[in-house]
Structure 1
Amino acid sequence: MTESTSTAPTGSSTLPILDHWVGGGAWPGASSRTAPVYDPARGTVAREVRLASADDVADAVATTAAAWPAWRDASISRRQAVLFSFRELLNERKDELARILTAEHGKVLADAHGEIARGLEVVEFACGLGHLTKGAYTENASTGVDVYTLRQPIGVVGVISPFNFPAMVPLWFFPIALAAGNAVVLKPSEKDPTAATWMAALLAEAGLPDGVFSVVHGDKEAVDALLEHPEVRAISFVGSTPIARYVSSTAAAHGKRVQALGGAKNHMLVLPDADLELAADAAVNAGFGSAGERCMAISVVLAVDAVADALVDKIADRMATLRTGDGLRGCDMGPLITRAHRDRVAGYIETAGADGGVVVVDGRDVDIDGDAGGFWLGPTLIDRVPTSSAVYRDEIFGPVLSVVRVAGYEDGVGIINSSPYGNGTAIFTNDGGAARRFQREVQVGMVGVNVPIPVPVAYHSFGGWKASLFGDAKAYGPQGFDFFTQEKAVTSRWLDPSHGGLNLGFPRNT
């Protein structure tokens, strides 16, 4: 697949510049602003990316809006064929995409492949658009009067995605939006933007008409332009809670539908009857996968006092076996996305000690299997973290696992429910009654029972409660199709039947 880049000087060197994707191909736009895209495993700039101006966004939206009517009017079978083809191409070339994710985000290849697999689930779900967009029909609601509903697309929609899942999060939204007959403008993170244009080129190869899917790179100027543009009818966003709140309020003020998924502080409650070997494995897997840069990462283990010492020891033992380093070398955990983010996360380790926490494993001392210039911070375990500490309160978004000791079930659930976040949580227990009570009482949108990362499959919907979700709907699943369509009710009376003539050929969908 050809890469949509141009070349321009940066300082004394020449680096490729990643262009926008508009009108079916690479497009530089008018703005001369760019931003560096790092290889986080080396700490070096690998390329530059265009930063769109408000005028660039307006031009992209105009091109996308002009392409929308033909796609809206395309038959279900035509849209389905494009999505099936895209699914096959994505599956065939997933190794190429995984290497892009590792090179720009830093996650290890196995994690990159997992991200793509979960995105593919949503593409496969979207291929069922014929069933998922159908309306309802009532015959003879009144004498000779029928009432039925239609599900129709809403127009041009904007998707604003974060750096931590450059492929999966866009795939949560745009396959469903396209399946429903909308046109899409995607604004990926400027920190790891290449996956977005790579998928745009793949959609074009799959047969999506030029202009129906656009990628506009940029920073806050581009985001604000999408939020305020009158032809953008809906916004899908994933990011931190402060930005999600801003996106939701700004888009709503401009008359748009919004689904804005915010931040998280996910707890894992471990009861005394739990399988501690399973719980320790789960805490390490869910705490340090993707270097903790996941909105569904477990960042707090609520350990009941009776098993806390044993559980902390088991977690620490497992952490000692992890290799931190370059994701292309078969390591377990890669670098963080930027040096500034690495330094911010490392600062919480110092804060933990000052607040009374006990640093059991210090990621600042980790041995690295990689270039010394990379943005490295190893897995970190902090025991006896007080809930008053910023280490507990803040969404750290890095490989820092906190242990908060609790007296029992009620104490643990009380801490979870007092959190301003409500994205994901888990309980580890062999007591079915406790698990059933937990799933009913906990005030969180996604719950795992002996499952540490309870991300729903594609035919359910993803989203939290409280400060973890703003707007009208959760992501993908049935709520995704609800969000990207609008319902129309039709009441009809036909007094004279019509005759369509003779045709003995087998009927075909075209």
Structure 2
Amino acid sequence: MTNRISHWIDGKSWTGVPERTGEVFDPATGEVRARVDLAGAGEVHAAVEAAAAAFPGWRDTSLAARARVLFTARHLLEARRDELAAIVTAEHGKVLSDAAGEVQRGLENVEFACGAAQLLKGGFSENASRGVDVYSIAQPLGVVGVISPFNFPAMVPLWFVPNAIACGNTVVLKPSEKDPSAASFLAELFAEAGLPEGVFNVLHGDKVAVDGLLGHPEVRAVSFVGSTPIARYVYETGTAAGKRVQALGGAKNHMVVLPDADLDLAADAAVSAGFGSAGERCMAVSVVVAVDPVGDELVSKISERMAKLCVGDGREPGSEMGPLVTAAHRERVASYVDAGVSAGAELVVDGREPGIAGGGFWLGPTLFDRVEPGMSIYTDEIFGPVLSVARASSYDAALELVNSNPYGNGTAIFTNDGGAARRFQNEVEVGMVGVNVPIPVPVSYYSFGGWKNSLFGDSHAYGPEGFHFFTRTKVVTSRWLDPSHGGVNLGFPRNF
């Protein structure tokens, strides 16, 4: 019998009869492992209303009590991290080591949110005018929606949910319907940690659920991670409805390799950053920019390492890259390989026939050389294990290539020249920069986000900007007069 994955609303699993359901696959075998309920308007309304009903009580819960829940959730997540990683691998396909790393990065955000009491302190100015004090306080928004992608089904919800509830909000999470079980696991874990009913709800579904959240008047803010076209849609639709929106979009991340770089280090980085999690991550390196004259040697070193990369079921020991998440996505990525060949790029390693027996959504690591900016494999976010090498004649030409790209999520430079690295981090028009670090995802006490078409809205995810996004500031100007000196008596005893 196929497992059923349903919503988590008001502290319990939803038991109603869904109008529609979707299939959840095991990407390594191609078999259906579960069916997920897809929310309609009724389920959207029920989840939002549960969150709205829980908000007044959670808003008035002390910071100390909120922190205790988060500390308990952190302890439970640490104890059950292997279980959550196994769920991620089973539905997404990434190897267990990648899944474990995802859980660890999510756990770091729970730890950061445990410091809510410190992070929510306002400012105070005594005697701003004679007898007048001015101070600021940060208050929660209300019900917030979180729409998370398939590629990090545990980590991305943990970018937003802990910070949102630490600030006193209540949450409706809409995870990807492709790998929904991690979100349900997190909801049950937070309930076990003592989070009151209705504070954290999970609504499974597709565009119907997304539009329901964007249009519901009780939802005050929405956080989104996904492709740029959908990020733009979420931002425009949500803000038109008067909501605060942060929408993190797609990427085309470049890794610049200067002639003085350690080419072995750069080749290792290109393979791990290009093919980890089968390239299904917004911080994956998509384009290696080889600055003359290192191109030939660098391509050779990358292809040598790719030949040793073990592609297989993520649950099997030794596997270094798993399958893609669905058959449709596998075919989409393969079509870009076809397009690259047709456009005249040099196909150095062809991953279209990985030679893995049985079912599953397999595509091996693929490498193109001499890729030109007009080719679709350069312009489009492929979101798969396809790495392109572009050649540049100089540092300035490489910088221009990066800065002329419409995306601005992450970038990296590999060099042993500190002056070149410092110049690059100053001049590059990208939100996150790595120096000899291929995937510069910030630690939890900074914030994650790109520039240009990689971000819609003005708030990055998690860290200090996360707390800013999930609160609104109120400034109080206060005068307390002593009645014994001719002031207004506000009801206090004369000796107050």
TM-score, normalised with respect to structure 1:
0.94
2:233 is the alignment partner of 1:246: yes
Structure 2, unpaired ranges of 5+: 484-491
Residue 123 of structure 1 corresponds to which residue in structure 2?
Answer: 110
Residue 306 of structure 2 corresponds to which residue in structure 1?
Answer: 319
Out of 344, 347, 351, which is 1:359 matched to?
347
Residue 467 of structure 1 corresponds to which residue in structure 2?
Answer: 453
Structure 1 position 356, deviation (Å): 1.1
Q: Is this contact kept in 2: 1:355–1:386, CA < 8 A?
A: no
Residue 286 of structure 2 corresponds to which residue in structure 1?
Answer: 299
2:332 is the alignment partner of 1:344: yes
Residue 177 of structure 1 corresponds to which residue in structure 2?
Answer: 164
The amino acid across from 2:345 in the alignment is G
Residue 482 of structure 1 corresponds to which residue in structure 2?
Answer: 468
Residue 58 of structure 2 corresponds to which residue in structure 1?
Answer: 71
CA–CA separation in structure 2 for the residues paired with 1:271 and 1:204? 51
2:196 is the alignment partner of 1:209: yes
Out of 418, 425, 429, which is 1:443 matched to?
429
The amino acid across from 2:69 in the alignment is V
Structure 1 position 104, deviation (Å): 0.2
SS in 1 for 2:315: helix
Aligned pairs for 1:99-498 (under 5 A) are 99-330=86-317, 331-368=319-356, 372-496=358-482
Q: CA RMSD, aligned part only? A: 1.2
Residue 45 of structure 2 corresponds to which residue in structure 1?
Answer: 58
Q: Deviations over 1:126-183 (max 9, x none)?
A: 0010111110001011111111111110100000000000000000000000000000
Out of 83, 94, 107, which is 1:96 matched to?
83
Out of 23, 29, 33, which is 2:10 matched to?
23
Structure 1 position 29, deviation (Å): 4.2
SS in 1 for 2:430: coil
The amino acid across from 1:299 in the alignment is S
User: Equivalent pairs: percent with the same residue?
Assistant: 67
SS in 1 for 2:250: coil
CA–CA separation in structure 2 for the residues paired with 1:225 and 1:83? 29
Structure 1 position 15, deviation (Å): 1.4
Q: Is this contact kept in 2: 1:29–1:52, CA < 8 A?
A: no
SS in 2 for 1:460: coil
Q: Is this contact kept in 2: 1:52–1:217, CA < 8 A?
A: yes
Structure 1, unpaired ranges of 5+: 1-13, 502-510
CA–CA separation in structure 1 for the residues paired with 2:393 and 2:16? 59
Q: Deviations over 1:54-89 (max 9, x none)?
A: 121011101111011111000000000000000000
Structure 1 position 305, deviation (Å): 2.4
Residue 8 of structure 1 corresponds to which residue in structure 2?
Answer: none
CA–CA separation in structure 1 for the residues paired with 2:305 and 2:89? 24
- Bigger mean CA deviation after superposition, 289-298 or 352-361: 352-361
Q: Deviations over 1:65-118 (max 9, x none)?
A: 101111100000000000000000000000100100000000000000000000
Residue 30 of structure 2 corresponds to which residue in structure 1?
Answer: 43
SS in 1 for 2:289: strand
- Bigger mean CA deviation after superposition, 30-39 or 450-459: 30-39
Structure 1 position 472, deviation (Å): 3.0
Structure 1 position 319, deviation (Å): 0.5
Structure 1 position 28, deviation (Å): 3.4
CA–CA separation in structure 2 for the residues paired with 1:457 and 1:73? 30
Q: What is the count of residue pairs matched by the alignment?
A: 485
Q: Deviations over 1:194-225 (max 9, x none)?
A: 00010000000000001111000000000000
The amino acid across from 1:480 in the alignment is G
TM-score, normalised with respect to structure 2:
0.96
Q: Deviations over 1:315-350 (max 9, x none)?
A: 001001111010010200000000111011111111
Residue 487 of structure 2 corresponds to which residue in structure 1?
Answer: none
Q: Is this contact kept in 2: 1:270–1:279, CA < 8 A?
A: yes
CA–CA separation in structure 1 for the residues paired with 2:373 and 2:195? 51
Out of 80, 86, 95, which is 2:73 matched to?
86
Structure 1 position 30, deviation (Å): 5.0
Q: Deviations over 1:419-468 (max 9, x none)?
A: 00000000000111111110011100000000000000011110000000
The amino acid across from 1:259 in the alignment is Q
Residue 504 of structure 1 corresponds to which residue in structure 2?
Answer: none
Q: Deviations over 1:269-303 (max 9, x none)?
A: 00000000000000000000000000000010000
CA–CA separation in structure 2 for the residues paired with 1:456 and 1:408? 29
The amino acid across from 1:119 in the alignment is G
SS in 1 for 2:388: strand
Q: Is this contact kept in 2: 1:357–1:384, CA < 8 A?
A: yes
SS in 1 for 2:2: strand
Q: Is this contact kept in 2: 1:122–1:476, CA < 8 A?
A: yes
